[in-house]
Amino acid sequence: MIGNTSNEITCDAVTGLRDWKTFFRDVERKIAGGIRAHVIFIQLLQLKRVNRKYGLQVGDRLLEDIGEYLEKLEEGYIAYRTNNSRFMLLGPECSQEKADVLLGRIRERFEDIWPIAQNGERHEVLAKAYFIHFFLEPKDTENDLLEKINHAASVFRLRERKGILFFNEELNADMLHNRYVMEEVRYAAEHKTFRIYYQPIYDCSEGRFVSAESLIRLIGRDGTFLSPGEFIPMAEENGLIDSISWIVLEKVCAFLGAYPELPLKSVSINMTGQQILDPTFIGRVESNLGKYGVDGSRLRFEITERTITEDYAEVRKVMSYLAGKGIQFYLDDFGTGYSNLASMLSLPFEAIKFDQSLIGMMNGTDKGLRTISLLADIMHENNYYIVAEGVETADQVRLAHERSLDRIQGYYYAKPMPGEELVDFLKRDIRHTYDETGGIL
Ligand code: C2E
Ligand code: MG
Ligand code: MG
């Protein structure tokens, strides 16, 4: 049950609609009577842009007009403005068909323009939005409601979906799975039970393994393997990525400190842009290196373009400072979306990691091969070396050599493995020579 019993109605100053606090109070009233309330959530996507383009007054008028439209939309539904760019509608239980029709009408309205007259000028403003709706169960608590909204919103963000999302059983199961994963991540962060695996990286000209990437591993308390590809983006969303990253940093430095004779030039750690910009980042790196007696030149950081959204100047400062200590950076997952290629390449990276999806192009057409060659030429001309990721077949190894890719990482050579296994692996396989067929001699 939702716990807000106040009788007071509080309103939003711009639209005059009821606000978030009153929304909770009204939800409580609906469900107190055992009614399955229908909740519709409307998230405006470009309010900031509207404000920038037309001015705040037009932005406010738009919100007012939307509020007025929602208020009159359907009998039995109350409209709320619950935060800056979010509206809610709360109505009684209805059939799925009726809900679909109502949502269809709302979407149609938001596809059209909102005419706004301001200082004698008429603006035709678009209010892009997405819509989530669900039936609130009488057993739900305030936290359940918030979790549903947050989960649905993150589904939109992560999968970049547009339009209408009905919070159905599938999404509910998805949410429960996420809750389980986050509980395990939280537990592991608190008890530092993450493990670190290392995947060796082969250098084509030296004919041996020269570096390794550290990759986090998490086994849930019930023995389930949890994939970092899944839990890392969730940890980023939930504010847990900081503590995870600092744990990885310490574990990798401890490993390097424990094996001063490890025959590798360096080991890399994945970091997000957020950590790089954390004011404690440089201090943490230096204190871990000092604590375990590790030279900075043995450490690399990998960052993806996805996690650097702005503040390139600040990121550049941190990278240049650490580069001065021998700690270089790789651009990870290159080829998975490079809208900001020019900005990314203005940062002082030492190497570019070609993503598995790009490497996969080498299996296919001439066009794919030509693209890789061209990209490799551009990178080499700009003095970056290239690491090919996700190389699985002898054919890809051969092509990577032919196209002058500098280093190779992939299941073809080795899967990620625990640190002690890496040490044994490197003892056994210290020298490899590439033969014409792509095999290891
Ligand atoms: P990534 O940094 O691009 O790491 C490479 C991923 O490709 C790893 O997946 C690795 O196991 C996998 N891989 C390597 N060779 C092959 C291959 O030949 N075939 C295939 N199919 N896969 C290959 P993993 O370990 O599941 O990690 C997934 C992602 O999770 C990483 O992608 C990275 O973005 C993130 N991640 C992993 N560990 C950490 C960490 O300690 N911190 C942070 N922030 N992110 C991490
Ligand atoms: Mg990586
Ligand atoms: Mg990668």
Task: State in Å: Cα 356 to ligand 3 middle.
Answer: 7
Tell me what pLDDT residue 415 has.
Answer: 97
CA distance 393 to 231: 28
∠ CA 245-151-216, nearest 5°, is: 25
| 8 A C-beta contact, residue 306 and residue 326 | no
Whether pLDDT at 238 is above 90: no
The number of the ligand 1 atom at minimal distance from the alpha carbon of 409 is: 15
Bridge partners of residue 301, in order along the sequence: 269, 329
Q: Report the alpha-carbon distance of residue 170 to residue 42 in Å, rounded.
A: 21
Residue 339 and residue 310 in contact, taking contact as beta carbons nearer than 8 Å: no
CA of 69 to the centre of ligand 2 (A): 48
Task: Enter the DSSP assignment of 327.
Answer: -
| Mean pLDDT, residues 340-356 | 89
With a 6 Å cutoff on the Cβ, whether 333 touches ligand 1 is yes
> Cα–Cα distances in Å, from 240 out to 220, 236, 244, 287?
16, 6, 6, 21
Q: How far is the C-alpha of 6 from the C-alpha of 364, rounded, in Å? A: 65
Closest CA to 87 of 105, 102, 65: 65
**Position 217 pLDDT exceeds 60:** yes
For 45-53, the CB contacts below 8 A with 24+ separation are 45/85, 45/128, 45/129, 45/130, 46/126, 46/127, 46/128, 47/84, 47/85, 47/127, 50/125, 50/127
Rounded to the nearest 5°, which phi and psi values hold at 341? -55, -45
Residue 248 Cα to ligand 1 midpoint, Å, equals 14
Residue 376 C-alpha from the chain's centroid: 27
Token pair of 316 as six digits? 């550049």
Residues by chain with Cβ below 5 Å of ion ligand 2: 270, 302, 332
39 touches 133 (CB < 8 A): yes
Give the number of other Cβ atoms within 10 Å of residue 198's Cβ.
27
Pocket test for ligand 1, best of 211, 214, 249, 270 (most atoms within 8 A of CB): 270
Alpha carbon nearest to ligand 1 atom 6, residue: 390
- The alpha carbon of 428 and the centre of ligand 2 are apart by a number of angstroms equal to 25
Please state, rounded to an integer, the average pLDDT across all residues of the chain. 89
User: Sorting pLDDT into bands at 50, 70 and 90, what band is 261?
Assistant: very high
Instruction: Give the burial string for 302-325 (b: 16+ CB within 10 Å, else e).
Output: bbbbebbeeebeebeebbeebeee
Q: Is the CB of 218 under 6 A from ligand 1?
A: no
Please state, for a pLDDT cut of 70, what percent of the chain lies above it.
Answer: 94
Supply 419's token pair.
Answer: 């640190």
Atom of ligand 1 nearest to the CA of 272: 44
**CA–CA distance, 256 with 212 (Å, rounded to integer):** 11
Confirm or reject: Cβ of 332 under 6 Å from ligand 1. Answer: yes
The 10s digit of each residue's pLDDT in 377-403 is 999 999 999 999 999 999 999 999 988
Q: How many angstroms is it from 215 CA to the middle of ligand 1?
A: 6
- pLDDT digits 0-9 by tens, 57-108: 999 999 999 999 999 999 999 999 999 999 999 998 899 999 999 999 999 9
Task: Name the residue type at position 200.
Answer: P
Q: Residue 14: what are its φ and ψ, rounded to 5°?
A: -75, -50
Cα R_g (the chain), whole angstroms? 27
Pair 81, 19: CB distance under 8 Å: yes
Ligand in closest contact with the CA of 390: 1
Cβ(104)–Cβ(96) below 8 Å: no
The per-residue pLDDT for range 178-194, each reduced to its tens digit, is 899 999 999 999 999 99
**Is the CB of residue 89 less than 8 Å from the CB of residue 42?**
yes
Question: Closest Cα to atom 16, ligand 1: which residue?
Answer: 390
pLDDT > 90: what percent of the chain?
67
What pLDDT score was predicted for residue 6?
67
Cα 193 vs. chain centroid, distance in angstroms?
23
Residues 77 and 418: their CA atoms lie apart, in Å, by: 57
| Ligand 1 contact via 392 beta carbon (within 6 Å) | yes
pLDDT by residue (tens digit) across 116-174? 998 888 999 999 998 989 888 777 777 888 888 888 877 777 665 667 878 888 888 88
- Cβ pair 398, 202 in contact under 8 A: no
Say yes or no: CB of residue 405 within 6 Å of ligand 1: no
Q: Is 138 in contact with 31 (CB distance < 8 Å)?
A: yes
Question: How many whole angstroms from its chain centre is CA 398?
Answer: 33
Round to the nearest angstrom and report the end-to-end CA distance of the chain: 67
Q: For the chain, how many residues are written?
A: 441
Q: Cβ(411) to ligand 1 under 6 A? A: yes
CA of 332 to the centre of ligand 3 (A): 5
Structure tokens given for 8: 């007071």
Q: Ligand 1 test: best mutation among 215, 244, 333, 387, most atoms within 8 Å of CB?
A: 215
Does pLDDT of 339 surpass 90? no
Residues 6 or more apart whose Cβ sits within 8 Å of residue 106:
40, 42, 73, 131
Q: What is the structure's pLDDT at 171?
A: 83
C-alpha of residue 225 to centroid of ligand 1, in Å: 14
Q: How far is the CA of 389 from the centre of ligand 1 (A)?
A: 9
For residue 415, the CA-to-ligand 2 centroid distance in Å is 14
Q: Distance between CA 228 and CA 230 in Å, rounded?
A: 5
Say if ligand 1 is within 6 A of residue 288 CB: no
- CA pair distance 360, 433, nearest whole angstrom: 24
Give, using CA atoms, the residue closest to atom 17 of ligand 1.
390
* Predicted TM-score of the model (pTM): 0.79
Cα distance between residue 65 and residue 87, in whole Å: 12
Mean pLDDT over 259-271 rounds to: 96
Predicted local confidence at residue 436, as pLDDT: 41
Give the DSSP letter string of 111-134. HSEEEEEETTEEEEEE--EEEEEE
DSSP class of residue 14 equals T
Residue 433 has pLDDT above 60, yes or no: no
Confidence category of residue 196, pLDDT binned at 50, 70, 90: very high
